[in-house]
Amino acid sequence: MERAWIISVGTELTLGQTVDTNAAWLARRLAEMGIRAERHVTVDDALEPLRDLLRDGAGRADLLLVTGGLGPTDDDLTRQAVAAAAGVELELHPEIVEQIRAFFATRGREMGERNNVQALVPRGGRAIPNARGTAPGVFVEVEGTPCYALPGVPFEMREMFDTEIAPRLRAAARSGVLLSRVVHVVGPGESDIGEVICDLMQRGRNPEVGTTAQFGVIGIRINARGDTPEAAAGLLDATEQEVRGRFGQRIIGRDQDTLATVVGALLIETGSTVSTAESCTGGLIAKELTDVAGSSRYFLGSAVAYANEAKTNALGVPGDLIEREGAVSEPVARAMAEGARSVFASTYALSVTGIAGPGGGSIEKPVGLVYFALATPSGTTCRRVRFGSDPPRAVIRARAARAALDLLRRELLRASAGESP
């Protein structure tokens, strides 16, 4: 068993009212047991399209996993569609009716007539117990391909998969495992990264390597297949080392690491603290830093100084400096960082001032222009970055926050290595 299709059923999913988290969760679980989710499909609550999709999937995949549409209402049609795809009738199982009745009784409620449909099982298939809800899952073979239908409610689905289905799949899965790792790189764009590792990204290579971008941080995903977890991990390690060798300090970490967690760890390691003075990022850097539990150990505070007067009153930036140089300028960025370092008495202070757009740009100071400064015990450094005027405001702000955190990260790496700036 190598290839699976995951089918998510529900009009609220296709309309975008609910985000399909089930498919992603199932795909990760399958990968851990060496089964690749080759296709994720989302369909409406409609019988024929789902039936046809299941038949199509049965011809192309080794496993079909369906979630949603097992409820008692008229728009819950998965049971019927699965039976239709298998070409069999649904049969009422009285013992399942009793189980559902008992489930309601434990909650002090009476089972309604409608719930009888949840005791229907395709002939030749079987019901899968649901420890967390009323709707049992369904197993049936569609043209010889195993097909499992699970409830849509995520916690019911997860428990049913882990306890009732995963053990069977593990036994049937091709020997071997698929392990994944993501290495996060900051700085270059996704296409530049693609060029640096194009040899590693070739199709059919094991491990497979691919990239995803999110606001200035690129994730390099490595998927390795091996006969044993150790073999797959060894392949991951080798490719990770290769990637690290090519990007050096531009790599911020892997898997759950973010700029904020890495910066936090380095601040703890070096026994230092940080504060921020934010204009165009409006507190985003402080938000990212404080998203990390325990950040009170090193994050002291932030001044969101948007108006010129706020830059003067909260951070001591001289009014005539702002007047002369403009609020978006290197001298003001430097003065903001130095002001925050002094106001908050922190080891480091980061500042950001820029033009997030869409309006407010000029020829000399276009939208997307951002100055960052970092005040340190040994002086202040400043960087000027142009993020381009195309990205929406939210993207410029998010990228600016990440770039500022990266400025601090690089300084902290130098400090922890005992280098002078």
Check residue 207 for interaction with ligand ATP (CB under 6 A).
Answer: no
Please select the residue that binds ligand ATP; options are 69, 253, 354, 391, rule is CB under 6 A: 69
- Please tell me whether residue 151 binds ligand ATP under the rule CB under 6 A: yes
71 scored as a contact of ligand ATP (CB under 6 A): yes
Which range binds ligand ATP by CB under 6 A, 12-20, 55-63, 280-288, 369-377?
A: 12-20
Smallest gap from Cβ 39 to ligand ATP, in A, equals 15
Collapsed DSSP state (helix, strand, coil) of residue 15: coil
Task: Write the CA distances from 396 to 166, 250, 284, 362, integer angstroms.
Answer: 43, 20, 11, 16
To ligand ATP, the closest distance from the beta carbon of 155 in angstroms equals 9
Part in contact with ligand ATP (CB under 6 A); list of ranges 52-60, 88-96, 147-155, 242-250 = 147-155
Residue among 139 and 387 whose Cβ is closer to ligand ATP: 139
- Residues 115 and 130: their CA atoms lie apart, in Å, by 14
Note whether 21 binds ligand ATP by CB under 6 A.
Answer: yes
Contacting residue, 4, 7, 20, 120, with ligand ATP by CB under 6 A: 20
CB of 8 to ligand ATP, least distance (A): 4
Residue-by-residue DSSP string for 289-324: HHTSTTGGGTEEEEEE--SHHHHHHHH---HHHHHH
Candidate residues 100, 120, 135, 374; the one interacting with ligand ATP per rule CB under 6 A: 135
Handedness of CA 128, 43, 179, 232 (dihedral sign): positive
Q: Which is nearer to ligand ATP, 74 or 320 (CB)?
A: 74
Strand, coil or helix: 347: coil
Residue 151 in contact with residue 130, Cβ under 8 Å? yes
The one segment of 30-38, 129-137, 165-173, 187-195 that binds ligand ATP by CB under 6 A: 129-137
Binding segment (CB under 6 A) for ligand ATP, from list 100-108, 133-141, 197-205, 267-275: 133-141
For the chain, give the number of residues.
421
Among 153, 305, 333, 375, binds ligand ATP (CB under 6 A): 153
Of 135 and 352, which CB lies nearer to ligand ATP in the complex structure? 135
The three state secondary structure string of 65-77 is EEECCCCCCCCCC
Structural contact between residues 312 and 320, judged by C-beta atoms closer than 8 angstroms: no
Calculate the alpha carbon distances from 98 to 113, 159, 383 in Å: 12, 21, 70
Nearest to 6 by CA among 81, 64, 82: 64
Give the nearest distance from C-beta 12 to ligand ATP in angstroms: 6
Where are the alpha helices (H) located in 211-299, listed in sequence order? 229-247, 259-269, 284-290
User: How near is the Cβ of 6 to ligand ATP at its closest, in Å?
Assistant: 9
Q: To which H or E segment does residue 193 belong?
A: helix 190-196
Nearer to ligand ATP (CB atom), residue 44 or residue 190: 44
Q: Is 22 in the site for ligand ATP (CB under 6 A)?
A: yes
- CA distances 101 to 77, 93, 117, 128, 160, Å, are 21, 13, 13, 16, 19
Site size toward ligand ATP, by CB under 6 A: 21
With the C-alpha atoms ordered 307, 312, 317, 323, is the resulting torsion angle positive or negative?
Answer: positive
DSSP state of 202: -
Q: Single out the segment in contact with ligand ATP by CB under 6 A; choices: 6-14, 91-99, 199-207, 311-319.
A: 6-14
10 binds ligand ATP (CB under 6 A): yes
Report the residue from 11, 14, 18, 270 that binds ligand ATP according to the rule CB under 6 A: 18
Residue 133: CB minimum distance to ligand ATP, A: 6
Locate 93 and state its tokens: 């199982």
The yes or no reply on residue 122 touching ligand ATP (CB under 6 A) is: no
Q: What is the DSSP string of 369-404?
A: EEEEEEEETTEEEEEEEE--SSS-HHHHHHHHHHHH
Among positions 34, 57, 146, 152, the unique one binding ligand ATP when judged by CB under 6 A:
152
The site for ligand ATP (CB under 6 A) is made up of: 8, 10, 12-13, 18, 20-22, 67-71, 76, 133-135, 151-154
